Structure 1
Amino acid sequence: MIQVKQLTKRFGQTVAVKNVSFSVEKGQILGFLGPNGAGKTTTMRILTCYIPADEGSASIAGLDVFENSLEVREKIGYLPENAPLYPDMGVIDYLNFIAEMREITGLERKKRLREMIDICGLEKALSKQIGQLSKGYRQRVGLAQTLIHHPDVLILDEPTTGLDPNQIMEIRQLIKEVGKEKTVILCSHILPEVEVTCQRVIIINEGEIVASGTPEELTNKALGGQTIFIKIKGPKGEIDSKLNNLPGLVSFRKSSEEGHNFYRYEIKGDGHREHCEDLFRMAVDNNWILSELRMEGASLEDVFRQLTAKEK
């Protein structure tokens, strides 16, 4: 649905986007992450036909965003961080206005309005002016104007910024439902949100893609893979020896000694094996008591910080 190849954009001597390539399929929600100034907004502006690229190509539904910009705009719905809403307009008046701008008329307009009210949960807000709405409901109205023309592609920029936890959950569920039938690019600084919403994630830094994959793939690769914590009773020398010979362990260290031959270890795995199963089997085979076994993986936030932190 979306194909981006070797995209480059310069502003004077500054290279905002450098050789960026990726694709997004129908029914997929892609998280597009990066620190401020990384090139996220520039990439989205190119995809939404606001600015041209200097090099490379980008297409949506087989249409080149440079050569077929009008057709592309009909196929995308774009929700910027601050949705283009008019506070003095009523909700239904605003949606009627957007439908008119999109040349949706007659019975089809009534059908689309009803559809947006239901999908975005706007029934309780119809009698109010937009300026009277909570931030959560304003985001719902913004999403409705993004969806009303039945776009194939949605590009959402920080859709949950400023929302409370309940509102975030509501908008998250709405995005996931919409994403079942459409192609969605979600730009967000709320990394736990991306982790639970998106099937794939791209991290961009200083104009270049530095990571791409599923959230699980990225977190497994980060910080040396898994971290496993165990509390085990047995001869320390033998425990160390067995751990040294366990396949796939990157490192281990004894974090504390608790008496009665109980030891706590912090173990780094490479992410390619089921180390918890190996450790459990090791304890059973040697008649050692294993009173704690838990694994902590890196979070998407850990991955993001690792890949985008500036050296001091």
Structure 2
Amino acid sequence: MSIEVRELTKSYKQQKALDAISFTTGSNHIIGFLGPNGAGKSTTMKILTGIIPVEQGSCKINGLDIQENPLPTKRSIGYLPESNPLYSDMYVQEILHFEARLHNLSNSAQRVQEVIALTGLQAEQHKRIGQLSKGFKQRVGLALAIIHDPEVLILDEPTTGLDPNQIIEIRTLIQQLSTNKTVFLSTHIMQEVEVLCQEIIIIHKGQIKDHFLSVDREDKYPGLHMEDIFVKLTNS
């Protein structure tokens, strides 16, 4: 359940968003993908999910190349974009059944109830999405991302804009999901990285600045917190 990126390059006109980046993640890890705004995080995630085509290089999810096997690769991915686009007039149960039908799930009714329980949406399942708090909207977004039980979750800043209690709830949910999935998430919250991530990748100006395991952090950066490491690698 690993993610493998090789020499991935992407340009927008004259601006190079990704400059031949390469990395391979572990399986069943929560991987923090860190970098300043404009570093290339969202571009990488959109390429990994097949939303943006590969320009140069390659991306593999569980050994499947996104270019050579687009549909099987996408089936193994769950994606929560930063904007979390939801149909505000739909009910929670309704949108989950809609998503289950899109994935052609044979046990859709059972799976919807499983996902509602897993994401803590029982009390909200009969409400319109427009009536929900941002924290519960994020839960709906995560429920949609996992409805087809993907092996890899790609989450673009899943706790942005949430209050402290909501952040703790979403972090706990991500930890639960990671027991049998690889979770690749971007965040600007360094405390979140310290709490959640077993693996850290830092990108700056479209280049990978470092990639290390959390257990190796103290040996590699003695005495430094994640915020210090982030500043050290991206302050140029």
CA distance in 1, matches of 2:61, 2:226: 28
Taking the aligned partners of 2:62 and 2:211, their CA distance within structure 1 comes to 22
Q: Tell me, in whole angstroms, the C-alpha distance in 2 between the residues paired with 1:58 and 1:220.
A: 30
Match of 1:252 in 2: none
Give 3-state SS (helix, strand or coil) of 1:84's partner: coil
> Which stretch shows the higher mean deviation, 63-72 or 213-222?
213-222
| TM superposition shift of 1:62 | 1.6
Map 1:1-312 onto structure 2 (within 5 A): 1-105=2-106, 108-218=107-217, 220-222=219-221, 225-226=222-223, 298-310=224-236
1:219 Cα deviation from its structure 2 partner: 5.1
Q: Percent identity?
A: 50
SS of residue paired to 1:81: coil
* Residue identity in the other structure for 2:89: D
**CA distance in 1: counterparts of 2:80 and 2:27, whole angstroms:** 18
Query: Matches of 2:3 and 2:60 in 1, distance apart?
Result: 6
CA RMSD of aligned residues (A): 1.3
The superposition leaves residues 129-182 of structure 1 with CA deviations (integer Å, 9 ceiling, x where unpaired) of: 111111111110110000000111100001011111111111101101111101
Distance 2:32 2:137 in 1: 22
TM-score, normalised by the number of residues in structure 1: 0.73
CA distances 1:82-114 after superposition (whole Å, capped 9, x unpaired): 212111111101111111111124xx1111011
Structure (1/2) with the larger strand percentage: 1
Distance 2:76 2:216 in 1: 31
Question: Larger RCO: Structure 1 or Structure 2 (Cα < 8 Å, ≥ 6 residues apart)?
Answer: 2
Classify the secondary structure of the residue corresponding to 2:6. Answer: strand
Q: Name the TM-score, length of structure 2 as normaliser.
A: 0.95
Partner of 1:264: none
Alpha-carbon distance between aligned partners in 2 of 1:114 and 1:16, rounded to the nearest angstrom: 40
Structure 1, unpaired ranges of 5+: 227-297
Letter in 2 for 1:307: L
CA distance in 2, matches of 1:117, 1:210: 39
Aligned counterparts of 1:40 and 1:121: Cα–Cα separation in 2: 29
Indicate the SS of the match to 1:156. Answer: strand
CA displacement at 1:215 relative to structure 2: 3.2
CA contact (8 A) 1:218 1:303 kept: no
Q: Aligned partners of 1:109 and 1:141: how far apart in 2? A: 16
Tell me if the contact between 2:129 and 2:137 (Cα under 8 Å) persists in the aligned partners.
yes
Residues 165-219 of structure 1 deviation map (CA, whole Å, 9 limit, x = unaligned): 1111111011011111011101111111011101000000011110111235345
User: How many angstroms does 1:52 deviate by?
Assistant: 2.2
Question: One-letter code of the match for 2:81?
Answer: P
SS at match of 1:49: coil
Name the CA distance, whole Å, in 1 between partners of 2:139 and 2:43. Answer: 25
> Who is 1:270 aligned against?
none
Query: Residue 228 of structure 2: SS of its match in structure 1?
Result: helix
Of the structure 1 ranges 187-196 and 46-55, higher mean CA displacement relative to structure 2 is found in 46-55
Answer yes or no: is the 8 Å Cα contact 1:156–1:184 preserved in 2.
Answer: yes
- Is residue 17–residue 39 contact of structure 1 (8 Å, CA) maintained in 2? yes
Letter in 2 for 1:306: K
Give the Cα separation in 2 of the matches to 1:154 and 1:118. 18
CA contact (8 A) 1:153 1:182 kept: yes
